[in-house]
Amino acid sequence: MTPSRRPSRRIKWNNELHTLPRYDSLVKTVTRLTEPTTTTELAARVGLDNDRHGVAGALYMLEALGQVHAIPGSRKARLWHSGKRPAHTTRPASLPPLLPYQRIIRLLQESGRTPIGTAPIVQDVHLGNRDDKNRAAMRRVRGALKVLVVMGLAGYDHSLNGWYWTDTSEAGGYRPGRFGR
């Protein structure tokens, strides 16, 4: 008599870049907008309904790069427009600051080809809480980083599980806490 065996459980490995084609589609969709569109509508168009934090991070990164701009919509909704914000208007204070997204770019540029994990990036650019793991902040940063990969500015090293800048002309290596505490 053989002992009964439980069915083996499959381990699902999370690949950081498995949604990269959808983020590529998001970038193309956003840059061709002709009318204001909400974050939810954009996520639905490209099949990223389940990654709303990642889509928000991607859109804020695109805004930091000057590809799109947002205005507050009804309730918590954001309406996205293609192109830079008109010169005669200022960014509404009700929108989250773009400084953390600009810091992501600077952090990767200064670190060069040194791969940096997502969690240290979240902490170093001051997007999430230091004490707890802020999952929403992690997803926003992943979405922002995926946009950089799609645009050819950054890459992801699967063997070291880290993000890096592809143009290493001014690289100095990664140093934690680059933007203070």
Beta-strand ranges (E) seen in the chain are 37-38, 68-72, 78-82, 154-157, 162-165
- Quick: pLDDT tens for 16-68: 688 899 999 999 999 999 999 999 999 999 999 999 999 999 999 999 999 99
Confidence of residue 170 (pLDDT cuts 50, 70, 90): low
Q: Mind listing the pLDDT tens digit for each residue in 69-92?
A: 999 888 888 999 999 988 888 888
Check whether 181 has a pLDDT greater than 70.
no
What is the pLDDT, as a whole number, of residue 15?
60
Dist CA 175 CA 142 (whole Å): 20
Round to whole Å and give the CA distance between 81 and 66. Answer: 11
49-61 pLDDT per residue, tens: 999 999 999 999 9
Q: Is the dihedral of CA 70, 24, 12, 118 positive or negative?
A: negative
What angle do helix axes 52-64 and 135-150 make, rounded to 10 degrees? Answer: 50
Which of 64, 74, 81, 41 lies closest to 143, judged by CA? 64
